[in-house]
Structure 1
């Protein structure tokens, strides 16, 4: 009976949305971490620090979203290969110049925001105010990140 319940919950649009957000968030976290490790140039210190703040915040957020999935009675996705396949966000080459790193992270965060909005809308439609609130908070974080990264590129 428990296996059948899990399968039913996995088909739920809210669960599916949250699972996609976990995968996307983990991909953005990984991409941001690569940029943190490999950024170089005259903006090294500011970008190195900003990337660290971003991936550290994302690590905590992924855990919170995965725990929300569990609280709703489903299983959270895992495994680096599985999460990467689910996210479908192209990996950045290690030797990418700093400006291209920032532009890549803008695109990755925008993709994540689009899926956060889908999850928010699914939660609203199903009357799940708690998940909707969590998605709204995450959208705000990533919209601010996009603004900050875009501002760096505009300089």
Structure 2
């Protein structure tokens, strides 16, 4: 059946394309955060291990919400890391960074997702897609706050 929700097919496709990048970014950051949760070492191990766990769990819920919105718009969500790797704006980490390097890298990832979300806002706004705008507002709120909290843990710029 055709999707008839008051948003044109062209608008839905454009929004879904933006959300696909957001999904790829979110999934990439999820994997990175989970990796750091497993591999963090040093005097802040316990606090960072716990912090990273909460962050990757939040991202796991987010990727589901984003993918389901893409489907509600009548498009298919990318679902493999091969697809995600083609469109993500987040770089994978190489090797095993120090705890402070992990924190700095996660700041960059959260800021990248805030920017990706913000780039979709005008597209969704022009289509009066309040549902997507709500998701984007939630994602920007989470990622900007998380980036701030992580930045507050870093001793150097």
TM-score, structure 2 normalization: 0.89
Partner of 1:149: 150
User: What does 1:117-136 align with in structure 2 at a 5 Å threshold?
Assistant: 117-136=118-137
Partner of 1:84: 85
Unaligned 5+ segments in structure 1 are 3-7
Superposition misfits of 4+ residues, deviation over 4 angstroms: 8-11
- By how many angstroms is 1:121 displaced? 2.2
Helix, strand or coil: the match of 1:153? coil
Provide the C-alpha distance between the structure 2 equivalents of 1:140 and 1:121, rounded to a whole number of angstroms.
17
Change (3 A) 1:127 1:116: same
Partner of 1:5: none
Helix, strand or coil: the match of 1:36? helix
Paired residues in the alignment total 150
- State the Cα RMSD in Å: 1.9
User: Which structure dedicates a bigger proportion of its chain to helix?
Assistant: 1
Provide the C-alpha distance between the structure 1 equivalents of 2:68 and 2:12, rounded to a whole number of angstroms.
18
- By how many angstroms is 1:9 displaced? 5.3
Partner of 1:21: 22
Helix, strand or coil: the match of 1:152? coil
Q: How big is each residue's C-alpha offset from its partner over 1:73-109, in whole Å with a ceiling of 9 and x where there is no partner?
A: 0100111121122104221134210000110111111
Provide the C-alpha distance between the structure 1 equivalents of 2:155 and 2:141, rounded to a whole number of angstroms.
21
Asked if the contact 1:10–1:16 (Cα under 8 Å) also holds between the matched residues in 2, the reply is no
Asked if the contact 1:103–1:153 (Cα under 8 Å) also holds between the matched residues in 2, the reply is yes
Instruction: Please identify, of 87-96 and 61-70, the stretch whose mean Cα deviation from structure 2 is larger.
Output: 87-96
